[in-house]
Structure 1
């Protein structure tokens, strides 16, 4: 009998950050059902580059705007609904935090230092990327 292969879905996401008092803070958001803390991510929109699609997700899911760094800083995977999602990650220096945004009623957001953010996200590969991202942020 053959084993069912999971579909691999391509996504892009951002690590939104800001610098406050010389320290890097990462913005995390909740999943729609508020079960866990995650970074803004989603399916890659047809006709968009990975960074542009990631910027769109940041605006929709987290209500933040900025110029996404086009250099991918890592890739992580997670499973959901029998599928495997492979997320290409980019840094997003946040220039504007919106009070009203597309998913404002569905998500919460929180600014945390990198180590605390890495502790509360679920995926181990995302934890590692968060921890090493501080080396790529320009203060």
Structure 2
């Protein structure tokens, strides 16, 4: 049985007119809609990894939650083409800055969407269920506006 790959993700969130919007990005290879995520880095906390990935992949920064808002399972395609199971731990990122250019800006598209619609746009069953669960909880605490 394949070892479970661990990844850390940011769910970039912005409140607009009382509606929670999340930022989706395209994957580099297949151009599917996903959220920024990456592999564990030595001497970096999981939330810090998620924040770094959000900046590099989506060009956003802000305040990241110290504790995860949830997890989902997916299948990751490695560069070798091998498919491996992965568990993605997700941290909320309250976005305060969106850069005009960033490290992967020429490789990815970005799109802000209402949280209630995000699950229908992603092409990953685990991520879709995760996002739908957040919406179904009718503004869960993890997505409440914090001061």
The TM-score normalised by the length of structure 2 is 0.86
Instruction: Indicate yes or no: 2:51 matched with 1:55.
Output: yes
RMSD of aligned alpha carbons? 1.3
Aligned with residue 75 of structure 1, among 71, 78, 88 = 71
Aligned position for 2:6: 10
Displacement of 1:73 in angstroms is 1.3
- Counterpart-to-counterpart distance in 2, 1:74 and 1:123: 16
Q: Which ranges of structure 1 fall in alignment gaps of 5 or more residues?
A: none
Displacement of 1:125 in angstroms is 2.7
- Counterpart-to-counterpart distance in 2, 1:30 and 1:10: 20
Q: Which ranges of structure 2 fall in alignment gaps of 5 or more residues?
A: none
Aligned position for 2:126: 125
Query: Where do residues 23-102 of structure 1 align in structure 2 (5 Å cutoff)?
Result: 23-79=19-75, 80=77, 81-102=82-103
- 1:9-65 CA distances to partner (integer Å, 9 max, x unpaired)? 111001101011111100000001353100000101111111000000000000000
- 1:74-101 CA distances to partner (integer Å, 9 max, x unpaired)? 1112212221221100100001000110
